[in-house]
Amino acid sequence: MFTLHYIRRMIGLCLLPLLIAGCGGLQEVWEGPGAGVFRPQAIAVLPPMASQYDSAREDIQEVLAGALNKSGGIERVVSPENVTDIFQTSKEAFDALIFYFSRLEMTGQSDRDSAVKLGKALNVDSFLVVRVNSWEYMRKEGDNVGRVGLSLRLVDATTGTTVWKARHERSSSYMFYRPYLKDVAKELAAEMIKAMPPHTKP
């Protein structure tokens, strides 16, 4: 049985240049032509892409799934545990994941065939591709801060097309006690998921 550590060694994510969002929104955001009418019924958060912040991958996957559940915009969110189980027990699903991530890294494009395979394996009509851009304590403008940054890509698993992409980060300053980065991540995830299609919440 494979481990997801294999994915960390093999794969990185190169997102296409994104359009800068307006003031007060996310740092970068892009919507495809079908975003306005996209109404997925089920979604899964894929294991985050490999980065220098691999220690945060499980926390981020959990936080994003929680934010999706709270948003009320999608009927069913596959739990991170179920996502992991599927990739650990199905070689076909795992191979599709590796191929999808590899093509995304090489071309910046969502591969239709492997995306559809992933959708069928996970029993969803959409999924989120995630990269952790920052998960750290640092000095920023003279302050001590805990910083979390994410890139997200929403994919229609029935067609393989990218519906929406975004990048954003959130920082929490401190003097003596470091903020819990998972709490910073929860605030960031809530903000990003709120901006993600479907925009009409029930």
pLDDT digits (tens, 9 = 90+) for 46-92: 999 988 999 999 999 999 999 999 998 899 999 999 999 999 999 99
pLDDT of residue 7: 43
Token digits of residue 71: 């948003």
> How large is the average pLDDT for residues 190-202?
80
- Res 34 pLDDT > 50: yes
Report d(CA 105, CA 168) in Å as an integer: 20
pLDDT in tens, 83-135: 999 999 999 999 999 999 999 999 999 999 999 999 999 999 999 999 999 99
Cross-strand bridge partners of residue 166: 29, 152
Q: Is 160 left (phi over 0), alpha (psi -120 to 50) or beta?
A: left
Banded pLDDT at 201 (limits 50, 70, 90): very low
Furthest CA-CA distance within the chain: 51
Of the chain, the percentage scoring pLDDT greater than 70 comes to 86
Helices (H), 11-107: 57-71, 80-89, 91-107
Angle between helix 112-122 and 91-107 (nearest 10): 140
In the chain the domains, ranked by start, together with CATH numbers, are 5-15+27-195 (3.40.50.10610)
Q: Which two tokens stand for residue 47?
A: 């294991």
| Mean pLDDT confidence for 158-186 | 96
Surface-to-core class of residue 52, CB atoms within 10 Å of its CB (0-12 exposed, 13-18 middle, 19+ buried): exposed
The phi and psi torsions of 11 (rounded to 5 degrees) equal -125, 140
Q: Is the pLDDT of residue 21 over 60?
A: no
Query: If you ran DSSP here, which 8-state letter would residue 176 be given?
Result: S
